Amino acid sequence: MTSAVQALDLEQLRALIAEVLDVEVSDIGDDTNFADDLEIDSLMALEVVVVLEKRYQVKLREEELKQVTCLKAAHDLLEQKLRTSQ
């Protein structure tokens, strides 16, 4: 059986976030700032968080949400949450 951490693929995460934000996958670089570069407002950011929580079956605390500023930060946080949930 594959663990949840192994299943966390950066490119799949990029595609999922691009779909939620209705942007091209190519618009989301590893360090692309969601708020500054993609002009994502707080409501759209919350939508991303809800989708990530459901998809990866994790719960993100409010202080953790502030860390999700780019794809790399989201990936790192999700990996950490998935590791600690096992």
pLDDT at 2 over 80: no
pLDDT at 6: 52
pLDDT at 66: 87
- In CATH terms, the fold of domain 4-84 is 1.10.1200
Q: pLDDT digit string (tens) for 60-86? A: 998 998 888 999 999 999 999 999 876
> What ranges in the chain are assigned the alpha helix state H?
4-7, 10-21, 34-38, 42-56, 62-65, 71-84
> pLDDT band at 7, cuts 50/70/90?
low
Mean pLDDT of 20-48: 95
pLDDT at 85: 78
pLDDT at 25 over 60: yes
Sorted by sequence, the CB contacts under 8 Å of residue 10 that are 6+ apart come out as: 30, 71, 75
Sorted by sequence, the CB contacts under 8 Å of residue 63 that are 6+ apart come out as: none
| Annotated domain spans of the chain | 4-84
Mean pLDDT estimate for the chain: 90
